[in-house]
Amino acid sequence: MILLSIIAGGYSIYFIFILIPRFQDVTVFFKIVSAVVLYIALRTLYKHLTALNSVIIRDDRLELSFLLRKRIIIPWHRLEEMQIFKVITHFWKLSYLDENGQHKTFRTSLAFPGIMTILLSIQDKKPDLKMNELLSQVLQYKRMIQ
């Protein structure tokens, strides 16, 4: 998706700054479509570069890594709550205390690859973690069928 959005954005910039000014009979529709494609390509690129890239579960902490954002490191004793919920799509939410003792929340799509294994591993590392009813039932069911 990153490569596709770069290509689409590059073509849109080429159309907007090279082709459209060169030809006088370009319709307004073509100009608008080029701008919309550029916007969607740049938004998609930004979204994929700042989205969760990897989850690393260590003995002493949970690490959430991104391509362009600062890594989030959560020691197990600072992890307070974990939930899954549905707004339009399903989400995974972590509540934790940062190094300054302030409550922070991290939310991402539940469609992350290997999410069930991650959730089960987090529960194994911190069995006393507070969870909502939906997540408790899902993890209990997953453990039962394994």
Tens digit of each residue's pLDDT (9 = 90 or more) over 119-138: 999 999 999 999 999 999 99
Task: Provide the residue range defining the domain that includes 105.
Answer: 53-145
DSSP string, 42-105: HHHHHHHHHSEEEEEE-SSEEEEEESSSPPEEEEGGGEEEEEEEESSSEEEEEEEE-TTS-EEE
Shared domain for 62 and 34, answered yes or no, is no
Please tell me whether residues 128 and 74 are part of one structural domain: yes
- The structure's pTM equals 0.80
Same domain, 42 and 86: no
How do residues 79-112 score in pLDDT, each as one tens digit?
Answer: 999 999 998 889 999 999 998 989 999 999 998 8
Q: Which CATH number characterizes residue 64's domain?
A: 2.30.29.30
Say if residue 113 is in the same domain as residue 130: yes
Q: Show the tokens assigned to 139.
A: 């993890």
How many other β-carbons are positioned within 10 Å of the β-carbon of residue 47? 12
* 94 and 35 in a common domain: no
52, amino acid identity: L
Residues 26 and 58 grouped into a single domain? no
pLDDT digits (tens, 9 = 90+) for 6-55: 999 999 999 999 888 888 888 889 889 999 999 999 999 999 999 999 99
Question: How many domains are contained in the chain?
Answer: 2
Report which secondary-structure segment, H or E, holds 131.
Answer: strand 130-131
Q: What is d(CA 79, CA 101) in angstroms, rounded to the nearest whole number? A: 11
Are 87 and 26 contained in the same domain? Answer: no
Question: Is 33 in contact with 40 (CB distance < 8 Å)?
Answer: no
Query: Do residue 64 and residue 36 come from a single domain?
Result: no
Answer yes or no: do 119 and 70 share one domain.
yes
83 vs 107: CA distance, rounded Å: 9
